[in-house]
Structure 1
Amino acid sequence: MTSGAEIIHQVPYYSQWESPGLVRAILSKEVDAADDPLWASSGAATQDEYAFWSWRLCGMACLRMALDFWWGVAPPSVTLAGECVEAGAYVRHGDKLDGLIHAPFAAYARERWGLEAQARPELAVQELAGLLAEGRLPMISVHPSVRELGPTPERPGGHLVLAVGATEDGLVIHNPSGFDGESQQFARVPWRDLPRFYAGRGVVLGAPQGLADAG
């Protein structure tokens, strides 16, 4: 799927939960997200607010990774989510949430953070390695079970991960809901397996123009 040298961008990792080591326990409901001891670092005003958002912050975790990589800053996840609500990238209906909506999110990333950002409702697997070689970071929609490379889901998508590299054998991702020490940072997804989880869409992020020019 790739040609030439391996591509690995040294992007910092952030989980969608403030305590990456608790992800497995939170997902299995052994620990309530509201009991995450680091909840206040998210920017949430209350534990309940954090618990609501934490299950929905995969896109914000990806954004934090990109911002830290290019800008050296990682604003709190719930703070970023609030800005995305104002930008129309999330639409909240009580206890339900629509989003992350890719087009308004890409506009927000451009206008608020100066990133190159393009919503791609069609983004082929075959394009990913080339985009990474150009220095871009694709946020792609995959099924959450990609963390374990489990059985083929009924439908792909529903969760955002950040592609940070490509090898001859597979895509390298930072997964906001991956398991600590297993599938969080620089996790390898074989090219042969990726289509089972990947919905074929995402948002392609690129360096701010000044940094890109300097590079």
Structure 2
Amino acid sequence: MSDRHPRAIHPVPYHSQWASPELVEEIVEGALDAAQDPLWREYGAQTPEEYAWWSWRLCGVACLRMALEYWQGSAPTPMELAEECLAAGAYVRRDDGLDGLIYAPFAAYAHERWGLKAAARPHLPMAEIPRLIASGNLLMLSVHPSIRELAPAPERRGGHLVLAVGVTEDALVLHNPSGFQGRRSQEFVHVRWADLDRFYAGRGVVMGPGTGRPGA
């Protein structure tokens, strides 16, 4: 078991997909409208309503911001990255909805714009995860959002992106952009391998620091 799951935890900074991490639980559970988040301007949005609409949808952007801050020391606002991802085809606006994150154009964007190594993995077996993380990569993984509470019977796998930042013999270590503060479900969350199986959709994006220079 220890050979399959080497211990490696990368000291990646955490970002929530909402501007105020301490308010995520109230927002997700409907006790607070996201437009009432007092830090909405820090998102780069023009209005509270724009912030509220996007904040529910940018788990992937939150993961990218964490990776950029870890490897490059800083990251743009969520709205700046969202607009770039739209232009790159990683998100597609449809009426009042949003398609994405679409892995292949996102990986191309992350490489071309930010100089990261990035590979879309529509099939990413759990067995490969420990080796990839121990090799210095960060993984954006598709899981069901109820992973934040380790729901005993999620309705499906996938639908939400988290950033895998470490592995131990017993668990995957992740940053969850929609995790709840104070319940140990936001940063450096340890999810046992046996629990991960019922949430993980078997796909994601592998990111590495790369050697290229970021785009202008």
TM-score between both structures, scaled by the size of structure 1? 0.95
User: Aligned letter for 2:90?
Assistant: A
Partners of 2:61 and 2:137 in 1: CA distance: 17
Q: Name the structure 2 match of 1:188.
A: 190
- 2:62 matches 1:86: no
Q: Name the structure 1 match of 2:142.
A: 141
User: Contact 2:6–2:134 (CA<8 Å) still a contact in 1?
Assistant: no
- Shift of residue 153 of structure 1? 1.5
Partners of 2:8 and 2:44 in 1: CA distance: 34
Partners of 2:2 and 2:140 in 1: CA distance: 19
Structure 2 gap segments, 5+ residues each: none
User: Aligned letter for 2:109?
Assistant: Y
CA distance change for structure 1 residues 111 and 2 in 2, over 3 Å: closer, same or farther?
A: farther
Q: Name the structure 2 match of 1:57.
A: 58
Identity of aligned residues (%): 64
User: Aligned letter for 2:60?
Assistant: G
Q: Name the structure 1 match of 2:211.
A: 209
Superposition pairs for residues 8-157 of structure 1, below 5 Å? 8-157=9-158
TM-score between both structures, scaled by the size of structure 2? 0.95
- Shift of residue 208 of structure 1? 2.1
Partners of 2:121 and 2:209 in 1: CA distance: 17
Partners of 1:28 and 1:158 in 2: CA distance: 17
Partners of 1:141 and 1:172 in 2: CA distance: 14
- Shift of residue 93 of structure 1? 1.2
Count of residue correspondences: 211
Partners of 1:183 and 1:110 in 2: CA distance: 29
- Shift of residue 155 of structure 1? 1.3
Partners of 2:2 and 2:74 in 1: CA distance: 31
Structure 1 gap segments, 5+ residues each: none
User: 3-state DSSP class of the match of 1:59?
Assistant: helix
User: Contact 1:176–1:184 (CA<8 Å) still a contact in 2?
Assistant: yes
User: What stretches of structure 1 move > 2 A for 4+ residues in a row?
Assistant: 1-5
